A and B are shown apart, each in its own frame.
Chain A
Amino acid sequence: MKKRIVFNHRVLPYALLAPQILITIVFFIWPASQALYQALLIQDAFGLSTQFVWFENFSELIDDEFYLNSFQVTVVFSAATAFLAMSAALLLAVMADRIIKGATGYKTLLIWPYAVAPAVAGVLWWFLFNPSIGVAAYILRVFGYDWNHTLDGGDAMILIIVAAAWKQISYNFLFFLAGLQAIPKSLIEAAAIDGASPRKRFWTIVFPLLSPTTFFLLVVNVVYAFFDTFGIVHATTSGGPAKATEIMVYKVFNDGFVALDLGGSAAQSVILMLIVITLTVVQFRYIERRVEY
């Protein structure tokens, strides 16, 4: 935690910490506690009177079919995004691990989507799948599928999943590649001498040894799909059509800023906070274990 020998100074450490702590309290702790408090209040539409209602906002949420819908949408969206982004990245990483010549070139060409903002990634794919002029929509039509994400909720969901997964592939690729390169070659060689085929070697040796990386990436990808994908949804589908792509983060924003339901929005924020806290704790516990491992 700290050094064996430390400087003794009465004022300096506080002065060094002051900017960080000040910003944390003003912009993090205080607003978060406000959200907690507001979650227990109901305000009328004009903001004239406020009533303390304990957990009514929460019980309303549980009965709200739109909230349950957005919960379901979020689960489907994050599971599909994590699965797609991770399996594509794992495939590419396994292939890149085999190659000796030109590996750096491939790596460079695969990592740059990380730098693209989620909102921009959304717009890219939105254009590609644009029902009237998009290239991808055109190809699908040639194959007899009438793509229209402005009307069909399923299409809209696929659109945001693809855009979200596309952006995350490079991140997963880097970590999978590092994980693969850390596996001792002697193990693979021993299995090869025993006559195991590349496919068998992958599923019985490489994949199990990769599980710490996989688990770590799973948590990171779920966090990403829950929170960082706001831009994708907001810039393209705006939660539609008919709330088919309304993920929870988008709903908090929409209910708070557009519908001005402050109590309901705050209650949703609190639920999201609990989710982040859980995911962070899982991530940290697991990372501690990995260090021992």
Chain B
Amino acid sequence: MVENRRYLTYVAHATLILGIVIVAFPIWVTFVASTHEPQDLLTSPVPIWPGGAFLENYRQVLGVGLEAAGGVPVGTMMFNSLVMALAITIGKIAISIIAAYAIVYFDFPFRMTAFWLIFVTLMLPVEVRILPTFKVVADLGMLNSYVGLSVPLIASATATFLFRQFFLTVPDELMEAARIDGAGPIKFFRDVLLPLSRTNIAALFVILFIFGWNQYLWPLLITTDESFYTIVMGIQRMVTVADAEPQWHLVMATTMLAMLPPVVVVICMQQLFVKGLVEVEK
């Protein structure tokens, strides 16, 4: 700090606390709503302190689900989300790290063509090619399957760029030494590059897990079978029940459960998360 102005420090603390309260307020209201009986949430204003139906509500959504939304237990949806998120994360990291390795450590015809092909994916988010991509997946018979949920999303330019960037900073001497010692490309990758990339992989894992878990449009399009619903899209099915007010206490309990895994990941792995976020955007 440049000069000692006491009141400015107080202002800073006050602003930050106010900011945190505003940011956290919707979550608090959601949590409170998820702990009440349905009749408490029928009249305005809704309670502002938690009620006594916490265990009941969460047990019901996890085990039974909502009748109006197809009656899929939220436990199943969370499992589907987890499978999808992990498949996307691991798939993206695996295919991009080997692609980056090929681009940086080999010289071959069409190297630049491959690089540009990968780069183009940055410019084609799912949202701009919804219908044709749906058609491809339908023709391949991948609707309502874990493969269909994850594989079309695992091509990633950002992850490839991140690894490429990182490989370029790895000293050339390492590779020279490895070659003198008689290590081939696969051995070099496995025993030298992979261990060096550990932090990058971990940081990317955090970011991609959140990305995968939060997918919305894609699962919405390709799952019609309730047993493949993911939790983020399942909530939408619960709030848009025809001709009736949603069952708020259960919807809110589901919302809390949908937020829990990614938020826990961010808070517990803050260092890696920040690193990943900054690197990915470079």
Binding site for B on A (CB under 8 A): 2-10, 12-14, 16-17, 19-21, 23-32, 34-35, 38, 88, 91-92, 95-96, 98-100, 102, 106-120, 123-128, 132-135, 137-138, 166, 169-171, 174-175, 178, 185, 188-189, 192, 198, 216, 220, 227, 230-231, 234-236, 238, 249, 252-253, 256-257, 262, 265-266, 269, 272-273, 276-277, 280, 287
Contact = CB atoms under 8 A, between A and B. Distances in A.
Contact of A117 (B129, B136, B216): B216
Interface string B67-105: 000000000000000000000000000111011011111
Interface stretch (B56-64, B149-157, B196-204): B149-157
Contact of B217 (A3, A13, A135, A230): A230
B96 A20 contact: yes
How would you classify the secondary structure of chain A's contact residues: helix, strand, loop or mixed?
helix
A20 B151 CA distance: 11
Contacts of B33: 127
24 contacts: A12-B185, A19-B99, A20-B98, A20-B118, A23-B151, A28-B120, A38-B131, A95-B19, A96-B12, A108-B270, A112-B266, A112-B267, A114-B266, A118-B214, A123-B251, A128-B26, A132-B44, A133-B42, A133-B45, A252-B127, A253-B217, A265-B131, A276-B125, A280-B123
A95 B239 contact: no
Contacts of A19: 94-95, 98-99
Contacts of B262: 115-117
B98 A16 contact: yes
Interface residues of B, number: 107
Given A20-B118, A234-B216, A192 B2 contact: yes
Given A135-B48, A269-B129, A287-B282, A2 B104 contact: yes
B101 A269 contact: no
B196 to A, nearest CB: 14
Contacts of A34: 129, 132, 135-136
Contacts of A277: 123
B263 A92 contact: no
A135 B267 contact: no
